[in-house]
A = this chain, B = another copy of it.
Amino acid sequence: MQLTRAADYGVRVVVHLAGLAAGSRLSLTALAEAVEVPEQFLSKVLQRLARHGMIHSQRGMSGGFALAADAEALSLLDVVEAIEGPIRLNLCLGPGVGCTRQSWCPAHLVWAEAQEALTGVLRRASIAQLARDGARVG
C-alpha cells in the first residue's frame, strides 16, 4: 500500500511549476533537474498530467512545460489520481465492484473510513499552498 514513484514525481512537478513566476516555462531537462527525476521517466509522468489538463507543453525555442490548471483549485489528491487513477484502498471500495461479502463484512466500513481519512488529507492540501510552503523553506 504505497504511492507509486510516478505519482510522487507528478506531485513534485506540479508543485514546482506552481511555484514559478506566471508565464514561465521549463524545458524537460531543466524540469528533470529541478525535481530530481530521470528525463525518460519524467516524460511519461508529464504525458499523464497533460492528458488530465494539469500542464501544457509548447514546442520551439521558447517552449517548455507550464502549469495549465489553477493551483489554488488543484489538490494533491487530484494530482495523485491523475497519475494512479482513483484511490481505492481495497478492491471492495470501487464502484460497481460486487464483493459477495460486502453487505455484512465488518472490515468493509473500516476500509471505507480509512480511505476517506487518507483522501481527505490529500484533498485539503492545495498545490498552491504547497508551492508557497516550498518557497518559504527552500
Interface residues of A (CB under 8 A from B): 1-5, 7-8, 11-12, 15, 36, 76, 80, 84, 87-91, 100-101, 103-107, 110-111, 113-114, 117-118, 120-122, 125, 129-131, 133-134, 137-138
Contact = CB atoms under 8 A, between A and B. Distances in A.
Contacts of A129: 106
State how many copies of this chain the complex holds: 2
A89 B1 contact: yes
Among all A-B residue pairs, the 3 with the closest Cβ atoms: A106-B133, A117-B117, A114-B121
A130 B91 CA distance: 19
Contacts of A88: 2
Given A1-B87, A3-B90, A130 B118 contact: no
Given A91-B8, A100-B36, A117-B117, A107 B2 contact: no
Nearest to A4: B1
Given A1-B1, A106-B137, A117-B121, 13 more contacts: A2-B88, A2-B90, A2-B91, A3-B91, A12-B107, A15-B106, A76-B107, A104-B138, A105-B134, A106-B133, A107-B130, A110-B130, A117-B118
B114 A122 contact: yes
